A and B are shown apart, each in its own frame.
Chain A
Amino acid sequence: MTWAIYAPAVSAAFLASLVEAIEALTIVLAVATVRGWRPAGLGAAAGLASLALIVAVLGPLLDRVPLQLLQLVIGVLLLLFGMRWLRKAILRAAGVIPLHDEAAAFAAGTAELREHRSRLDWLAGLASFKAVLLEGLEVVFIVIAVGAGRGLFLPASAGALGACGLVAIAGFILHRPLARVPENALKFAVGVMLSAFGVFWTGEGLGVAWPGADLAIVGFAGLFLLVAALAAVAVRRPVGAAP
């Protein structure tokens, strides 16, 4: 195994998980602010338990899937997933669509929960549960995707767990959404890396012998970065124009 594939896998898992964990934290904090920590914590714990169950049940099945088929399926899904992130990050960087604002998402979340004050706390817990489950599923997919076929599950999982732990600790200490994280820059970088992995795995799944083997991923990432940067410049909205 080369460092060229090890480092992108770990960093892709870490950075992508960082973004997902921040989004989940924003909703959990919104629930905690309006309804208290009990429904927020219970919902988040139930979401984590559901995730653990899904991983425990479906994880062993991955070993039964033929490697080439697994690489192809993961590659196609990674391409769809990574290009979706990259497209959105390009449009945000160019000012075509507004940047994702965690402070605004937090304000919207708390306002929505305050509108339903008369309802039971379990609805608030459900919001927390759904956020943790859905964002967590994205993290699980990324770990599977970047770890598939090369025995990188452990380092990718470590990267993802490190990011989730970091965000959980920061959220616990600060008690407010992590609005200063350059989320679009992270999404841009992760979109580039996931798209590069997607091209590599799809090719491997189709039986392509990439020149340079694993090192090809670094070259693909460079090309995606270049094209994405060019696209962002080409579609950049003039300063002062309405988004």
Chain B
Amino acid sequence: MKILAGIARELIGLFVDDGMLAVALIAVIVIAAIVASLTPGTTAGVVILAGSLFVLFANVMAVPR
């Protein structure tokens, strides 16, 4: 059981290392999904791209040095 729990923890860890980064990315995707449902075209794509780049930069800059 302990081994299975360890494997499950490591599997989640494949995608989530820093909780804030994961939450921010999910928020960007949710906003993009809302935009996509309201305005067809490339606007949602711009939201995903610009949002992901901003989240990455902001997250790295927020790391204590």
Contact = CB atoms under 8 A, between A and B. Distances in A.
Contact of B56 (A203, A207, A210, A231): A231
B15 A137 contact: no
B37 to A, nearest CB: 9
A110 to B, nearest CB: 20
Contacts, number: 107
Interface string A125-151: 010001001100110010000000000
Contact of A202 (B14, B21, B29, B56): B29
Given A96-B65, A134-B7, A141-B14, A210 B45 contact: yes
B48 A199 contact: yes
B11 A137 contact: yes
B14 A207 contact: no
Q: Which of B26, B32, B42, B65 has the most CB of A within 10 A?
A: B65
A30 interface: no
Interface in A180-220: 195, 198-199, 202-203, 206-211, 220
Given A230-B57, A234-B61, 4 more contacts: A90-B56, A133-B7, A134-B11, A207-B36
What 4 pairs between A and B have smallest CB-CB spacing? A208-B45, A80-B15, A206-B36, A231-B60
Interface of B: 3, 6-7, 10-11, 14-18, 21-22, 25-26, 29, 32-33, 36, 40-42, 44-45, 48-49, 52-53, 55-57, 59-61, 63, 65
